[in-house]
Amino acid sequence: MLENILAILILVGAFFTLVGSIGLIKLPDFYMRLHGPTKATTMGVGSILIASAIYFSQKESGVSAHEVLITLFLFITAPISAHLMAKAALHIQTHQSEQTQKK
């Protein structure tokens, strides 16, 4: 039962990480590609870390809470790097896809 839950969590995590990477190749312009990595960190890494926390809490008969910290640091650093890249891209006026609604 527990193994099934863990397997599902890891598969979900792997799936969303994969989707993030596909987005990185597939999307047409820089700003849209920026959305890929932010996805992979939130959902993909999130569910893999939950799976890890459950597994090690089970195995070592003690709560394993390292993973909370990894999540915390990722959730703080990922948006900042995305923000900095977006800001730099705006500054040098990177090419935007034609579909972009200008503002």
Q: State the residues that interact with another protein by CB under 8 A.
A: 15-16, 19-20, 22-23, 26-29, 31-32, 34-36, 38-39, 42-43, 46, 64-66, 68-69, 72, 75-76, 78-80, 82-83, 86-87, 89-90, 96-97, 99-103
What kind and span of H or E run contains 74? helix 66-91
Of 6 and 82, CB closest to another protein: 82
Smallest distance, another protein to C-beta of residue 32, A: 5
Residue 85 CA, distance from chain mean position: 16
Q: 61: buried, middle or exposed (CB in 10 Å: 19+, 13-18, 0-12)? A: exposed
Smallest distance, another protein to C-beta of residue 78, A: 7
- Tokens 């890891």 belong to 10
